[in-house]
Amino acid sequence: MHGLSAPPPGGRRIVERCDLLGRPPYSDEAGSLFRPYLGSGYRATLDRIAAWMALADMSVHVDAVGNVVGRYEGAVPDAPALLLGSHVDSVRNGGRYDGMLGVVLGIEVVACFAREGRRFPFALEVIGFGDEEGSRFPAAMLTSRTVAGTRDGFDLSMTDREGISLSEALSEFGLDLATIDEARMTRERVLAYVEAHIEQGPVLEAEGHAVGVVSAIAAQYRYLVTMHGVAGHAGTIAMRLRHDALAAAAEAIAMVERIGRGGPDDLVATVGRLEVAPGAANVVPGDVVFSIDVRAGTNAQRDAAAKAIRHELRQIADRRGIGLEVELQQDLSATPCDGVLTQLMEQAVADVTGAPARVLVSGAGHDAMVMAHLAPVSMLFVRCEKGISHNPAEAVTAADVEIALRAMMDFVRLFERRC
């Protein structure tokens, strides 16, 4: 690892660190990246991030829900903080930069200022949130919800695929359930939250921009749908007498795509999970469980699409004689980024690139959506190759990340002047 006396590697070091964290022991799987919340790879990752934070002259702690937090004191001790960060967990078979880029970039921002001996009238804090993806437990953004003080969806009895409850996982990790609320930050402590993230889309690459400024984060609903049919022998039940749950689900999936395609460009509807029971080649499927993810730039567009989807789900189920359960698992309203911070980020990007910033809406959800309940938020997007994310093919360039680093540093200076 590089000490503070080494020349600042900037974007190159950020990319190298993200690459390092993309393999064991920082992944739970040898052949791909999978870093679920509170797993063995997660623990190793927190240890490595904490070491990098310490090298950047930050005091470090892991909070009561497993977020790693580094603090670079301001000119006045105990001053409120400008919070930089993103998440450290990953989806299964994920990419190396989703979430992690924002955390490591935040550390590099602080390292550069520490190398200069620069202090601000506020502290700089970098946070690596533990569970943004929801890849282990059936809820996302659990730890940012705790920090922001919302705690909605934080059910200690929820279980992962191995039947381990959230409370058991926290305890096994060495966290005290009685102190969970101590992870909450107060409005007086946090001046703003700023998140850098790969775009997860193709706009910046298509238009030739290294970075972009996020004006808002799309509204999102996530449903879990269960269709109950009647299982039976595939060779003896006439087609007209079947109550095939998978055939009903197939019709429903096509309907979800049709409604998603029928709206504005920022409306998207996705079925990303499908489970069939009993799952035998010679048995008519009796039960099917699938997810529906609906997102749009406004709550109104999302709500209209979701209403249409729920209505047609009921029609399909009734027509086919299928039982239907629709559970709302996630409800995230559209989140506008703070206007003043957006202007500062636009200016920072223009200062660094010499061109007006590209401003765009994020279709993906981020911890910033939750943190907006606590403090003003801003986001900076970094171009990713072909817009690919949640995939091992995820890629960024050191040159683009260097631009993002310089823009974030300029943002901090502009924020100081504004304060």
127 is written with which tokens?
């946070």
Residue 98 burial by Cβ neighbours in a 10 Å radius (0-12, 13-18, 19+): buried
Strands (E), 111-206: 123-129, 190-198
| 282 carries a ligand binding annotation | yes
Q: Phi and psi of 119, rounded to 5°?
A: -120, 155
Q: Which amino acid is at 295?
A: R
Determine whether the annotation assigns residue 35 to a binding site.
Answer: no
Pairing verdict, β 268-270 and 283-284: unpaired
**Residue 155, token pair as written in the block:** 């059910």
Spatial distance between the Cα atoms of 223 and 145, rounded to a whole number of angstroms: 19
Residue 29 per-residue DSSP state: S
Among 366, 326, 311, 409, residue whose Cα is nearest residue 89: 366
CB atoms within 10 A of CB 7: 7
* Peptide linkage before 8 cis (omega within 30 of 0): no
373 marked ligand binding residue? no
φ, ψ for residue 344, nearest 5 deg: -65, -40
Amino acid found at 377:
V
The response to whether 209 counts as a known ligand-binding position is: no
Nearest to 142 by CA among 334, 363, 327, 367: 367
222 known member of a binding site = yes
Does the annotation list 61 as a binding residue?
no
Query: Which residues have CB under 8 Å from 302's CB, separation 6+?
Result: 218, 219, 220, 221, 267, 294, 295, 296, 334
Q: What is d(CA 203, CA 213) in angstroms, rounded to the nearest whole number? A: 12
- Residue 257, classified by CB atoms within 10 Å of its CB into exposed (0-12), middle (13-18) or buried (19+), is middle
8 Å CB contact between 175 and 164: no
- Residue 157 amino acid letter: S
Give the residues across from 274 on adjacent strands.
Answer: 290
Enumerate the known binding-site residues: 87, 98, 133, 197, 222, 282, 295, 390
Annotated binding site for Zn(2+): 87, 98, 133, 197, 390
**Binding annotation for allantoate:** 222, 282, 295
